[in-house]
Amino acid sequence: MKPLKLVVKAFGPYPDEQIFDFRTLRNRMLFLIHGPTGSGKTSVLDAMCFALYGVCSGMHREPKQVRSDHASSDVQTEVQFDFSLGPDVYRVYRKPEQTRPGKGGKTSIVRPEAILHKRTGLESDEIEGTVVATQWKRVTEEIERLVGFRSDQFRQVVMLPQGEFRRLLLADSKEKQAILEVLFRTEFYRRIEEALKQAARDLELQIKDAQTKLGFLLGQADATSADELRERRSALEHRCSEFRQKLKHLKRSEEQTRDQLNEGRAAREKLDELNAARKALQNLELKTEAYDAQKNVLAAAHKAAAVIPQANMLTLRTQESDEANRRLDQARKDLQGAAEQKESASQALAAEEEKAPVVEKYKQRFAQLENLTPQVKQLQTVRQELSRATKEFQQREADLQKTREALEKCKSQMAEILPEQERAEKAAAREEFYSLKIAEIEQAYAIFKKLESLNASENIESKSLHGISDELSQAEAHLAKALVEYDHLEQEWIRGQAALLASSLSEGVPCPVCGSKEHPAPAPLDLKTPDLTRIKRKKAQIDQFRSKVEECHREKTQRELALMQIRSEAEARKEALGSHGNKEPLELQAELKNLKLELKKSQQARKVAALLAEQAENLERSISGCEDTFSKAEVRRTESLSRLQTIQAQCAALKEQLPEHMQEPEKFEREKTSVKKKIAAMEADLNKARNAALHANELFHGFQAGRKAAEDTAAVASSRLLIQREEFHRSLKEAQFPDEKAFLAAKRTSEEIRLMETRIREFEGNLRAAKDRVHRADANAENLAEPDMGTLQKAAQEARKSLEEALREEVKLNEELQRVTRFLSDHSTIGKQLVTLESQYSLTGSISQAANGTNRDRITFQRFVLAALLDDVLAAASKRLKIMSNSRFHLHRVTTQADRRVPGGLDLEVHDTFTGTSRPVYTLSGGESFLASLALALGLADTVQAYAGGIHLDTIFVDEGFGSLDPEALDLALRALMELKQEGRLVGVISHVPELTERIDARLEIIPGKRGSSARFVV
């Protein structure tokens, strides 16, 4: 990252706009930021750090404190910073939260703003570029992604603030790891660690899962081992073989009974068929007489069918005659009506022709009205303009009044809002106080809750300790009792052995134990002598009691230690309560509740204050807008009034030229339209009367011709009817029907005749089929006896039941066999998987433990890589430090870990060639620490650039520290910095040491004044 241009306004000691154009340096890579103490040198770094991250370069300066005390109240604090990252150029802009003065001495809060632009390839500073991110937090996140550092890491690597330049040098291993991870992008190695750990964890879970499955599988099978399952499978296979033989016998028995039942059913069906056939024949023979009667009706219907055509023709002729007579009557009536209509039309035409003089009079009146039409239309147009002008004037008057009311309303609202805004801002100012108090009380309440938990744990541990003490006492009593019993059994067994030996002694024969030939008091034989098995059981019982006592002792010690830890933690928690220790939890809850209510009120007040400020700003704009609108409305009202007066004069002149009853356009048009309608109506009535008379005459002559045709048609139809009636009676005689009544009784439709013929044919066919069926059934049932179906069915059912029971039993056996076989197969599969997983875990688990720090040096894989990279950094830094310290000091990494509980590997020490010893870096003096820190920063930049990991360390800023160096050390440090000119790296040094102004020709001079500071580049 290289700075290009920095623009600040009302920031720190700079009250107005101050531009720092670093491009002025051109190729000068070392420059001095110089000025008196307090002039604002460090504020340059603060501004750059604030622009990038929204925080200052020093840990003790808050963003809210960056506003210049010398700035005018109407100038807002803001920072704009242009910088390059490799080939890309960016611009970041920030404006912190601040107050802004308003009218009436009130203030409003301005919300913070932040925006990041990309300006690669743009030459003009006026062009902002492409927006990359907006909003405070999102801009910070994008800067962290682009630069590669958080703000604290940036201050350790790129910008060494005043009083903090030793942070990277003295940082612990964990803090150094976080920085080096970002610089060298070693998160890949961390992901390898996590992947190995996850792989080992997955294998471990899979092994446990396989072991659980094996146990669950044996539990489901109700077995203790796979061998037991194999024995069960062999027994089931034997039983299945026996059952198959039994099934063969039962199947043969079932088939025999089923065949006998089927034969009985066949005999039964043949006998039932014979009875059914005889019954069906009997039923058909009973219907013979009825079907003979049907045959007679069918014969009569066939005779009537020959007469039907003549009957139908007679009906048709009758209908034709009736229709002709009806039409003749209608023609006579129509002719009479036409004669009456002809007379009426002639009279109406004569009446209309008499109205001709009246029509001429109306036409003359209409011509007079047509001549006056232009003047009436002109008057109407002027009146419309007058109406529009009047409405426009009224509207302008209303707009003026509305604007006046809106202006007064805005001013009234502004007067109401300002006091409310002041009250809300005062209430909002207490928000931070309430937040801190809430955090303090919540922490105390959490401690109280933890103390309650610890007290409960202490009670539980005390009870457990008491219980384990009792259990220990019981175990010790049981052990003592068992020892006594064991000793007694051992003595009894020894005496028994002596008695057995004594029973084999004989007088004069030496004792095999003592060699004596005399046996004055041999031990008596006791039948209650214990055997060795009993003694061994008692010995095993003693071992169990002894193990129990040892276990209880260990458990008691652990419980006592846990109780001590609980009590110690409880005492520490009570001390942490401080002033809240005398309060009850309920009091804290009540206080916390009240504070949260007050905090909520303050937060609401802050929102209300912001809302009221926005409303006040809007009202100010509204008042200004209303005042402009009021002035414009007054001008428009005056113009509208002048135009209205001009149109009123034109209207008065036109009224004098027209009669009063013609001045109204509606009345004029109504009269004109009325006259025109009367003329048109009278002419239309005359034409209508003429057309009606012509039509009536034509209609009369047409009806005369129609009556003559109707009379001729009626005569022809009457003649045809007489001829057809004679033909019909002749056909009745030929068909041997005595009269028309007999013919109608025998008459049937063709469908009825077809249905009767079909029924008769079907009956005759069914009768023949029934006789054939009886003949066949007699032949099939010949010599058959009545079967005993009940006995046959019972025998078949019993055989079937026995077979089904055997089949069900066989299915159960087969299912059990398949189940056991499946369990064995699954057990074998899971067992093989378990062996494979354990083999994989043996390798993967070992590698994972080593990579994640479970090794001799307690160093992870990523930290091992970072240690190697740090060695390169220290080699480059020692090269710089060698020059600065006149070959006295060298930096190197601590390879031995004093406290093995804490991960190390990245701690630093310095080797002093004058003493020949190495010591921790924190033992360096102030000047020595400054040189070592500067060398480390430069070495880090050298190494990062050499590895080309994407992080661009093109710039370093050093804030003070040179004042702690003696002249020789200062000369050596500057010599090392001068070498950076050839490396293309920009180094900015902040110092008020006079010697530096003589040694460094490029300077940014900070000039203090009574009203703030200003700056300029001197190159």
pLDDT, mean of residues 866-874: 83
Report d(CA 750, CA 143) in Å as an integer: 105
Give the strand pairing for 986-990 and 30-34. Answer: parallel
Q: Which of 247, 236, 238 is nearest to 808 (CA)?
A: 247
Report d(CA 960, CA 48) in Å as an integer: 17
Q: Which of 180, 31, 14, 19 is nearest to 989 (CA)?
A: 31
Q: What is the pLDDT of residue 19?
A: 93
Q: Which of 92-106, 665-679, 970-984 has the lowest mean pLDDT?
A: 970-984
pLDDT, mean of residues 398-405: 83
% of the chain surpassing 90 pLDDT: 5
More confident residue, 373 or 202: 202
Q: What is the pLDDT of residue 18?
A: 92
Report d(CA 135, CA 123) in Å as an integer: 26
Q: Does residue 901 register a pLDDT over 80?
A: no
- Reported confidence tier of residue 948, pLDDT bands at 50, 70, 90: very low
What are the structure tokens assigned to 437, written together? 């108090």
Q: What is the pLDDT of residue 690?
A: 78
Report d(CA 199, CA 665) in Å as an integer: 101
Query: Could you read off the pLDDT of 482-530 as tens digits, one per residue?
Result: 877 777 777 777 777 777 667 666 776 777 666 666 667 666 665 566 7
Per-chain mean pLDDT for the chain: 79
Q: Which of 261-275, 385-399, 558-572, 996-1010 has the lowest mean pLDDT?
A: 558-572
Q: Which of 273, 266, 281, 264 is nearest to 777 (CA)?
A: 273
Question: Between 3.40.50.970, 2.40.50.100, 3.30.2270.10, 3.40.50.300, what CATH number should domain 2-163 receive?
Answer: 3.40.50.300
CB-CB neighbours of 214 under 10 Å: 17
pTM of the model: 0.39
Report d(CA 205, CA 948) in Å as an integer: 41
Q: What is the pLDDT of residue 118?
A: 93
DSSP letter (8 states) at residue 1001: -
Report d(CA 198, CA 847) in Å as an integer: 12
Q: Helix, strand, or coil here: 26?
A: coil
Using an 8 Å Cβ cutoff, are 228 and 883 in contact?
Answer: no
Query: Could you read off the pLDDT of 913-943 as tens digits, one per residue?
Result: 888 888 888 788 767 777 787 787 777 777 7
What are the structure tokens assigned to 502, written together? 């004594």
E strand or H helix at 879: helix 861-884
To which residue do tokens 């010995």 refer? 539
Q: Which of 495, 485, 550, 545 is nearest to 524 (CA)?
A: 495
Using an 8 Å Cβ cutoff, are 229 and 221 in contact?
Answer: yes
Report d(CA 940, CA 945) in Å as an integer: 9
Residues across the chain: 1019
Burial of residue 438 (CB within 10 Å: 0-12, 13-18, 19+) is: middle
Q: Helix, strand, or coil here: 102?
A: coil
Query: Could you read off the pLDDT of 430-483 as tens digits, one per residue?
Result: 776 777 778 778 777 777 887 888 888 888 888 888 888 888 888 878 877 887
Query: Could you read off the pLDDT of 264-299 as tens digits, one per residue?
Result: 778 778 778 878 888 888 887 787 777 777 877 777
What are the structure tokens assigned to 156, written together? 């350790």
Examine domains 2-163 and 183-197+856-1018 and report if their fold is the same. yes
Which residue type occupies 189? Y
Q: What is the pLDDT of residue 4?
A: 93
Residue 713 dihedral angles phi and psi, to the nearest 5°: -65, -35
Q: Where are the domains of the chain?
A: 2-163, 183-197+856-1018, 226-273+791-829
pLDDT, mean of residues 620-645: 80
Q: How many whole angstroms from its chain centre is CA 147?
A: 33
**159 has which bridge partners?**
957
Query: Could you read off the pLDDT of 673-713 as tens digits, one per residue?
Result: 877 887 788 878 878 887 888 888 888 788 788 888 888 88
Q: What is the pLDDT of residue 115?
A: 94
- Reported confidence tier of residue 252, pLDDT bands at 50, 70, 90: confident
pLDDT, mean of residues 975-994: 73
Q: What is the pLDDT of residue 163?
A: 47
What are the structure tokens assigned to 371, written together? 């001549």
Query: Domain 183-197+856-1018 carries which CATH code?
Result: 3.40.50.300
DSSP letter (8 states) at residue 581: G
Query: Could you read off the pLDDT of 213-231 as tens digits, one per residue?
Result: 777 778 777 888 888 888 8
Q: Which of 294, 272, 320, 43 is nearest to 159 (CA)?
A: 43
Which residue type occupies 200? A
Q: What is the pLDDT of residue 525?
A: 60
Using an 8 Å Cβ cutoff, are 978 and 1002 in contact?
Answer: no
Query: Could you read off the pLDDT of 711-754 as tens digits, one per residue?
Result: 888 888 888 888 878 887 888 787 777 887 877 777 888 888 88
